[in-house]
Amino acid sequence: MAKPRQFTLSPSSTQIIKIRRQLIKWYEKQKRHLPWRAIAPNQPNPYHVLVSEAMLQQTQVATVVPYFQRFT
């Protein structure tokens, strides 16, 4: 009797690396410039991130930006 084929549902390390690179490339092309994101690379202000997360709960980004700028 033939052994049943096993299908793997998890991606290989190579596939994960490829997906990560594609996501980063997509993000760099599509990202929005928002006031709470880091001005210096990889240096976001933790307080600004926390405030923006609270403000963004069930609120659109376009509505939050002016309030965030006035608040900070």
| Catalytic, out of 15, 37, 53, 72 | 53
Q: Known catalytic residue: 53?
A: yes
Report long-range pairs for 29-35 (Cβ below 8 Å, ≥24 apart). Answer: 32/61, 34/61, 34/65, 35/65, 35/68, 35/69, 35/72
Helix, strand, or coil here: 34? coil
Hey, which residues are catalytic here? 53
